[in-house]
Amino acid sequence: MLDIKEILISISIALDYANGRKPEFTLKLALVSVFLAKLTNCNQREIHFVYLASLFKSIGCTSYSSEEAEIFSGDDISFKSLFSTVDSMNHVQALIQINQLRAESRWDDLKMKLRLILDGNKIYKNIIEAHCDSAKMLIQEIQLDPEISAIINDSYERYDGKGTPNQKKANEIHFLSRILSLSYYFVSLSEIMDSKTIRKRLVKSKASMFDPNLVDSLLQFLDELLIMIQSDSIHDDALFVSPNIYVSHLQSVAKMISYLPDFKSKYTSLHSKKVSELAVYLAKKLKLSEVEQNKVYISALLMNIGMVCIPSGILEKKGNLNRSERERIETHTFFTDQILRKSKLLTPYIEYCISHHENSKGTGYHRRVKELSIAQSILIYADKVVALASERSYRNAFSNEDILSIVKNEVREGYLDKNIFPFVEEYLGFKKKKIVRKENKYSLTEREIQVLELLADGNTNKQIGLILKLSARTVQHHTIHIYEKMGVKTRSAAVMIGYKEKILQI
């Protein structure tokens, strides 16, 4: 059994990047939540649960990134950062912020705030449903107690009953959720305000947003808490209070992590899973040891985690990227290095994970290395082939014949290892075989599975309708039925279940 508490802390750093937060925001949240739980005489089990709920509160944050980017000027990361301190029910507060943004000429931020006022409640509900849906699925992936999901769900409710998703109020809200939501707001305020202003905001939030008794408890120790979260030992402090969290193998954790970057774009929802399948196929053909095959598989699932740091608007730009945008995308391997380095269990995979955009001529990124192992070359091939076979915002998917032509040309020019190419050619030939579907426990019809597959590939209802020769309204009805049968509310959660239950063929 593996204790993954260190890995969860490293994932929290990735979540901070994805949410436009300062590093260790999530760890600060966990420490404040634990402090309040102890202060209110919670038992050890409850303390552990609020700690884990703090780490996982934002685990679903990329599941609505594509939609957020479309609404908010292409930058879902900035939007998440701005969203954190906005009381969606307080339009006066939002207007005050708008005046400040106008004075500072921060027009993109201003557009975000205006959109929140005009359509804020609906947007907020959609975001929260996506977060909660995905968090539930990801927590199940590593078999944590489902109560942690329930705590996260309730943490978006308000004490006055005006929250989401279920408009619970006061004591109807899980007590640990009340701790978590208040702690989140406090740590968010601490990043942009001084203690005097924080105190005023917290006092105003009593009995509306938050449990008044908990607010009083926090206010009593506000200065001490601010000192605590400004410490240089946040990482070590969070590790010290963390419960032991065991899994039987690393693969389930790697799968969970892979969803975070894959959902950054609607075109990549199963990218890492497809890469891992091809990479293992090539590793077996090249007779790598079982240990190396497993390392290749896990690396394929982990290697794009740095993509959470890239705004979805760049990943889904219709035209050519400018130099700045290209450079920003190329930082994702650097961020992957920084994230994985936080965990001793993940460190052995770094060298493989950060090399999938290198090449044998040394013109790749981000280190421009030339000397590549066979395993690293396998991951380079797998990532390239899967990307070429998938639709992107700026192009259609390439056919197998075109992919082979592109890859063969790169082999000829010395960019790719020539010894791997024959097995890629073989693999793409096998992929033409007819898919035989098995019965699924959700009783999805053949048409519904077709719709789900096209949803997983990032198509809109209109695009799916054109492909299947259906009206967009009919596609919408199919989508609703799929969600109802699966017990989810969002595309990302449906795709996760589809992959896990082998309804979606990789």
Q: Which 3 state secondary structure label does DSSP give 373?
A: coil
Q: HSE-up of 382 (CA within 13 Å, CB side)? A: 30
Are 376 and 322 contacting, i.e. CB atoms less than 8 angstroms apart? no
Are 254 and 298 contacting, i.e. CB atoms less than 8 angstroms apart? yes
pLDDT tens by residue, 133-142: 999 999 999 9
Please give the average per-residue pLDDT across 299-310, as a whole number.
Answer: 97
pLDDT band at 505 (very low <50, low <70, confident <90, very high): confident
As assigned by CATH, the class of the 446-501 domain is mainly alpha
Q: What are phi and psi of 395, to 5 degrees?
A: -165, 165
Q: How far apart are CA 458 and CA 462, in angstroms?
A: 12
Q: Compute the Cα dihedral for 236, 238, 241, 246 and give only its sign.
A: negative
What DSSP string describes 34-98? HHHHHHTT--HHHHHHHHHHHHHTTTTTTTTHHHHHHHTTT-HHHHHHHHTT--TT-HHHHHHHH
- Confidence (pLDDT) at 104: 56
* Residue 188 CA: distances (Å) to CA of 22, 71, 127, 379, 498: 10, 23, 18, 38, 35
Are 290 and 280 contacting, i.e. CB atoms less than 8 angstroms apart? no
Query: What letter represents residue 43's amino acid?
Result: N
Q: Compute the Cα dihedral for 352, 356, 357, 359 and give only its sign.
A: positive
Domain ranges (residues) in the chain: 2-241, 250-429, 446-501
Please give the average per-residue pLDDT across 236-240, as a whole number.
Answer: 95
pLDDT at 90 over 60: no
Domains 2-241 and 446-501 share a fold: no
Are 40 and 217 contacting, i.e. CB atoms less than 8 angstroms apart? yes
Q: What angle do CA 40, 45, 48 make, to 5 degrees?
A: 85
Q: Determine what percent of the chain is predicted with pLDDT higher than 70.
A: 90
Q: What are phi and psi of 59, to 5 degrees?
A: -60, -25
Pick from 490, 501, 499, 506: nearest CA to 63: 490
250-429: CATH topology is Hypothetical protein af1432 (1.10.3210)
- Confidence (pLDDT) at 75: 80
Please give the average per-residue pLDDT across 43-49, as a whole number.
Answer: 98
- 2-241 CATH choice from 3.30.200.20, 1.10.3210.10, 2.40.440.10, 1.20.1250.20: 1.10.3210.10
pLDDT at 109 over 80: no
pLDDT tens by residue, 249-296: 999 999 999 999 999 999 999 999 999 999 999 999 999 999 999 999
Dmax over CA atoms of the chain, in Å, equals 70
Give me the chain's average pLDDT, please.
90
Pairing of strands 246-247, 2-3: antiparallel
Are 134 and 496 contacting, i.e. CB atoms less than 8 angstroms apart? yes
Q: How far apart are CA 424 and CA 406, in angstroms?
A: 12
Q: Left (φ > 0), alpha (ψ -120 to 50) or beta: where does 24 sit?
A: left
Please give the average per-residue pLDDT across 359-371, as a whole number.
Answer: 93
pLDDT band at 117 (very low <50, low <70, confident <90, very high): low
Cβ contacts of residue 278 below 8 Å, gap of 6+? 381, 382, 385, 386, 427
Cβ contacts of residue 110 below 8 Å, gap of 6+? 98, 101, 102
pLDDT at 463 over 60: yes
